[in-house]
């Protein structure tokens, strides 16, 4: 039977503009790459990715009492997600991300969190009544919620997987209870540890710095086109990437962690799960948008078969 994963985190509408380069201060750039409004948010991207990869998903979040909120909830339902704990907030607007995507697929994101910042400890506590097999969170909807979720997961002895998305430089990992998998990208690793994971030596130093702050079973650094780096407190491994033509890297990190968690829950093998997550991340960058780009389990199977 499929595992039940509780995903706690943000739901956004993404306002995406394609641009040949990022304009300087005071410059007006007329970019003709088009724009779109699409569903996103690190929490929602994770929830949809986990669902498409075959696990049951319960999503805990807040959207605004507006047209975007309704639109997002409809999309989550279409993706088979349990919405009982997605609340419509009467105060905050639905979260909005403004995303600039350059020709090489790289992105820059500014998030107005709105209703996401109103996800409360009470929301998290209620969502735990779904009896999850594992809990996933990110840091975009406030650290306190992630910290509280880690405590409840530790109390119930269920795996807690934290993505570093949304981390701020003042975030201290030592507030977290036990973390089974912590997966930051390069920027988040540098923000949290002060070490940019440029070389293998830097990756090891950053991973050790993370483990010295809190009880983490596996650190998995997302290194973009360089693949990922796995550290279990004793051994480390650089897992090679799948080379693809990047169109838009938005949500690749969310998809990666979703795949890592889903596959790890299924197999218990962190190295094989990291390779699988590399494949899912690679597939995600080949399509524009966040939720729109997330592959299904069948798509991943066919991709790996071709390789």
Residues with a known catalytic role: 254
Find the residue with minimal CB distance to ligand RIB: 40
Do residues 150 and 178 touch, judged by C-beta distance below 8 A?
yes
Dihedral, CA atoms, 69, 74, 75, 76, nearest 10 degrees? 90
Which of 6, 8, 18, 45 binds ligand RIB (CB under 6 A)? It is: 45
**Least gap, CB of 268 to ligand RIB (angstroms):** 27
164 touching ligand RIB, by CB under 6 A: no
In this chain, which of 5, 7, 42, 150 binds ligand RIB, going by CB under 6 A?
A: 42
Report the residue number, 39 or 227, with the smaller CB distance to ligand RIB.
39
Rounded Cα distance, 222 and 253, in Å:
7
User: To the nearest whole angstrom, how small is the minimum distance from the Cβ of residue 174 to ligand RIB?
Assistant: 25
H helical segments located in the chain: 42-52, 67-78, 121-127, 143-155, 186-193, 200-213, 252-267, 270-285, 297-306
- β 134-137/160-163 pair status: parallel
From 78-86, 200-208, 216-224, 247-255, span contacting ligand RIB (CB under 6 A): 247-255
Q: Is 284 in the site for ligand RIB (CB under 6 A)?
A: no
Interface residues for ligand RIB in 121-140 (CB under 6 A)? 140
Closest among 9, 64, 11 to 41, alpha carbons compared: 11
Which one among 100, 220, 251, 277 touches ligand RIB, defined by CB under 6 A? 251
Smallest distance from ligand RIB to CB 16, Å: 9
- Quick one: how many helices (H) and strands (E) in the chain? 9, 13
Which range of residues in 19-27, 36-44, 194-202, 240-248 is near ligand RIB by CB under 6 A? 36-44
Which stretch in 8-16, 29-37, 145-153, 203-211 sits in contact with ligand RIB by CB under 6 A?
Answer: 8-16
Contact region with ligand RIB (CB under 6 A), list: 39-47, 194-202, 265-273, 292-300: 39-47
CB atoms within 10 A of CB 169: 9
Q: Does 14 bind ligand RIB (CB under 6 A)?
A: yes
- The H or E element spanning position 157 is none
**Is 250 an interacting residue with respect to ligand RIB (CB under 6 A)?**
yes
How far does the chain reach from its first CA to its final CA, in angstroms?
Answer: 28
Distance CA(20)–CA(27), nearest Å, equals 14
Query: How long, in residues, is the chain?
Result: 307
Stretch that binds ligand RIB, among 25-33, 40-48, 239-247, 275-283 (CB under 6 A): 40-48
Nearer to ligand RIB, 8 or 109 (CB): 109
| C-alpha torsion sign, points 157, 45, 172, 85 | negative
Is the Cβ of residue 48 or residue 206 nearer to ligand RIB in the bound state? 48
Identify the DSSP state of 31. Answer: -
Q: In this structure, what DSSP letter does residue 28 have?
A: -
Give, as ranges, the residues between 70 and 109 that touch ligand RIB (CB under 6 A).
Answer: 97, 109
Whether the CB-CB separation of 283 and 75 falls below 8 Å is answered with: no
Pairing state between β 56-64 and 4-8: parallel
Q: Which is nearer to ligand RIB, 95 or 197 (CB)?
A: 95
Interface with ligand RIB (CB under 6 A)? 10, 12, 14, 40-42, 45, 97, 109, 111, 140, 165, 250-251, 253-254, 290
């Amino acid at each position: 039977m499929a595992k039940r994963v509780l995903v706690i985190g943000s739901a956004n509408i993404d306002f995406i503009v394609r641009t040949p380069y990022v304009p300087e201060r005071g410059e007006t750039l007329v970019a003709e790459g088009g724009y779109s409004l699409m569903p996103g948010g690190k929490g929602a991207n994770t929830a949809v990715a986990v669902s498409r990869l075959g696990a049951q998903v319960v999503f805990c979040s807040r959207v605004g009492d507006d047209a975007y909120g309704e639109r997002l909830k409809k999309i989550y339902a279409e993706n088979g997600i349990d919405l009982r704990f997605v609340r419509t907030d009467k105060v905050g607007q639905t979260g909005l991300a403004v995303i600039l995507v350059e020709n090489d697929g790289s992105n820059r994101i500014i998030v107005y969190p709105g209703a996401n910042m109103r996800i409360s400890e009470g929301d998290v506590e209620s969502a735990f009544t779904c009896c999850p097999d594992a809990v996933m969170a990110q840091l975009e909807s406030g650290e306190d919620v992630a910290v509280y979720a880690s405590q409840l997961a530790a109390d119930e002895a269920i795996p807690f997987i934290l993505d570093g998305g949304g981390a701020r430089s003042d975030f201290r990992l030592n507030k977290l209870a036990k973390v089974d998998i912590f997966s930051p990208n390069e920027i988040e690793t540098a923000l949290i540890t002060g070490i940019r994971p440029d070389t293998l030596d830097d990756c090891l130093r950053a991973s050790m710095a993370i483990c010295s702050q809190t009880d983490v079973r596996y650190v998995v650094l997302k290194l973009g086109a360089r693949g990922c780096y796995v550290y279990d407190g004793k051994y480390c491994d650089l897992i090679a990437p799948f080379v693809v033509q990047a169109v838009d890297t938005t949500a690749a990190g969310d998809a990666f962690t979703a795949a890592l968690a889903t596959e790890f829950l299924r197999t218990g093998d962190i190295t094989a799960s990291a390779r699988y997550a590399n494949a899912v991340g690679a597939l995600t960058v080949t399509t524009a948008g966040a939720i729109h780009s997330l592959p299904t389990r069948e798509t991943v199977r066919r991709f790996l078969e071709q390789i």
